[in-house]
Structure 1
């Protein structure tokens, strides 16, 4: 069975202000709904005509007022099955969706998770999203991290959202509970790369990609701290890796967490909570971005999930009895 494609047809004259610009640069400005790398691919694939003739040299200079015609195809790379999986949709219009992801839900199919993912649910909810690469997913949350994600429903919306992400113009804030009592907030500026021996883990490494996490203390407990965090970059497992690097791993983190820290004379309820909290205590609580079509600045918040609020309540109950003195 042949792979399906979406046909793209674009036409415009080169404006005077792009006189002397390279073909690839000019087209990126003329057709901002498509990424520069995609436009360059189209030029090299003979999909671009200038004044009726194919021009496949990205560096060729333009003189202005040429007629540009693009007749391209975008391959719909992977066919995944639509599945009836409930989505908690916080916002939706014809261009984007914002969802509040629950725990225990993988975002994108991969090894060990061929289906039953956010992507499969998106295909069921909005079948047209199959025409967008990765079904419009522009950023991910780990399987057991809860909270807000934005999804693009069209290729132009995806292009603009990816550009915002790369320019660090999308604000993503998280809340977490970590093991240990922090004195104050701060910033972690430490590159993250693949762990040298654990294939599925990440680690702080000099050879890694730049990663910056800002954090502030919301509440202190006897042996734990409730944090608000903000990402500048978006590396895999970034908050989990950075907090573990500071020696304040997230409660319940199966990959980067330490053993549960049990304060002296704590209740049986607290012992049980800390020993059975089987996921990282991390929630994407706030998302802010510029709408890719209207240009409007938009903001959403997602309430903490029940298990997270239950964890906080147990810690607060303990604090009300024992205070926040040294363990």
Structure 2
């Protein structure tokens, strides 16, 4: 895999913070069993030696991620996350047609370790997400997701509880999108194996809003990566 140029990922920078538009398939931090693998934290430290990643995105998830350039900036944002003052907006393409009008999902999540999470009303930690439908297609829906808390896989599992699994999210029974399923008359040649339009689940961290050390709002939007843009273009064309 070709690793990105960190400078090209930066969508905001001041004396205290860097916000990058994380590409899919790059981890936020060092992962167990992935020694030597490039991740956002390692790239950031080469650019700014005291860099600390302030929150994480799943490896497959693309979008806005905030990096602190000094300990004071890190503490400032950590407190905002703890007090749930950071506004985060994600976009997801889900399997099926859904009308979410500020749907509030309040289901506790238990992290069993080893990337296994489940809904558990007894042992789970509080998890809250708001969902809004942005656009309908014949077989899919573009959904805006606003997590209040920041549990592992929160958006993915909360959508799955609504039978609205994210397209391509195998862990939560989300099926990948194939062109043959939406384009009439699409034919593969005999020996050709069809690949999904997106080779990951369709989730993107679109926006983040937090306060800098001067108490002023920092509001950043991250453009869709190429694969997400392609998926939406093809749905606009063939699944409307």
Map of 2:118 onto structure 1: 203
Distance (Å, rounded) in 1 between the aligned partners of 2:87 and 2:114: 30
- Change over 3 Å in CA distance of 1:209–1:265 after alignment to 2: closer
Secondary structure, counterpart of 1:110 in structure 2: coil
Task: Verify: 1:86 aligned to 2:5, yes or no.
Answer: yes
Map of 1:121 onto structure 2: 43
Map of 2:206 onto structure 1: 285
Task: Verify: 1:235 aligned to 2:151, yes or no.
Answer: yes
Map of 1:148 onto structure 2: 64
Map of 2:28 onto structure 1: 107
Map of 2:227 onto structure 1: 307
User: Does structure 2 conserve the Cα–Cα contact (< 8 Å) formed by 1:95 and 1:157?
Assistant: yes
Task: Verify: 1:191 aligned to 2:108, yes or no.
Answer: yes
- Change over 3 Å in CA distance of 1:279–1:139 after alignment to 2: same
What is the Cα deviation at residue 107 of structure 1?
Answer: 0.8
Secondary structure, counterpart of 1:255 in structure 2: helix
What is the Cα deviation at residue 272 of structure 1?
Answer: 4.9
The alignment covers a number of residue pairs equal to: 226
Secondary structure, counterpart of 1:124 in structure 2: helix
* Residues 246-285 of structure 1 aligned to structure 2 (within 5 Å): 246-260=162-176, 266-267=183-184, 268=186, 272=194, 275-285=196-206
Structure 1 regions of 5+ residues with no counterpart? Answer: 1-83, 130-134, 321-327
Give TM-score scaled by structure 1 length.
0.64
What is the Cα deviation at residue 280 of structure 1?
Answer: 1.2
User: Does structure 1 conserve the Cα–Cα contact (< 8 Å) formed by 2:84 and 2:148?
Assistant: yes
What is the Cα deviation at residue 200 of structure 1?
Answer: 2.4
Secondary structure, counterpart of 1:99 in structure 2: strand
Determine which structure has greater relative contact order: mean sequence separation of CA pairs < 8 Å that are 6+ residues apart, divided by chain length.
2
Larger gyration radius, structure 1 or structure 2:
1
Give TM-score scaled by structure 2 length.
0.86
- Change over 3 Å in CA distance of 1:265–1:242 after alignment to 2: closer
Distance (Å, rounded) in 2 between the aligned partners of 1:117 and 1:171: 24
- Change over 3 Å in CA distance of 1:309–1:91 after alignment to 2: same
Distance (Å, rounded) in 1 between the aligned partners of 2:219 and 2:197: 34
Distance (Å, rounded) in 1 between the aligned partners of 2:15 and 2:100: 43
Map of 1:213 onto structure 2: 129
* Residues 26-65 of structure 1 aligned to structure 2 (within 5 Å): none
User: Does structure 2 conserve the Cα–Cα contact (< 8 Å) formed by 1:85 and 1:116?
Assistant: no
What is the Cα deviation at residue 318 of structure 1?
Answer: 2.0
Residues 209-261 of structure 1 show CA distances to partners (whole Å, capped at 9, x for unaligned) of: 11111110011111111011111000011111111121111011132233347
Distance (Å, rounded) in 1 between the aligned partners of 2:14 and 2:142: 34
- Change over 3 Å in CA distance of 1:260–1:252 after alignment to 2: closer
